[in-house]
Structure 1
């Protein structure tokens, strides 16, 4: 399913592929890719057992996406290993790894949806016209049920950090 005009990008309406998700639903299955000593995969099942923040960005090489990732990384420090946190984008795993090293991102993993866009389509976050992900924040509880869903209405705006972190903490 496509959702024309679901969000805007620089004021222009764009179409999101996939259904809009809502709190209370089971999160769709997904497989992301990252580079750590070699190409590896990260699936929904790998995150089971802990509440998880999925911070979705169009590209880490843009200002707002960098701010979002750094802000969540900083605020997640107090939760330690009680939660999972993943920044998701279409960036190549090598670029994501470089960004995290340069910016000292230590409290979040990264996952790339570049191979088959299964995350973007399953979570209803793929911008069809641009083939990148919209800005969004999802929180799953330890069993994989969504407790927080935010599709940022204007892709160039930041998400509601407080709401996402409150949902993450309440899932502990």
Structure 2
């Protein structure tokens, strides 16, 4: 018998002072049986960090993710179904990045493993023709601290200022400073 996804609820209060994006979001997150708490919390972080300032061209949404290899972890679709923003977590290979880069107006990869520098060193020179690609590294110790905030029902306050992300709940707050491995050119 196949294992079912576990459901998590999160109320996010986001204050992104860098982009002037503010909002309250009620999320229902389906966590795949093979997904770690760390990875799921990184999806929540990506949602807060990359939420568009308005929903004229659609909202950022969770996808089937691990259940469907042809979909990213999050995406923003416009009203015609075209991909505005493709968001992958982890360390996708060159073919996946190139395919997604061709389908979307913008692509972001959030890598969070300690092996990120090795992965990126092997890919960086191969991705010279990807101006829409942005690659961020979340330091492993920070993503692990974020995972400790995971609960079946969460209320998270997320503040973003000067490139630093502060996540707080009823537990100890976590500070996250993403490292920009590659900035988007367009």
TM exceeds 0.5? no
Q: TM-score range by the shorter chain?
A: 0.3 to 0.5
More strand by share: 2
Higher relative contact order (CA 8 A, sep 6+): 1
TM-score normalised by structure 2 residue count: 0.31
Q: Which has the larger radius of gyration?
A: 2
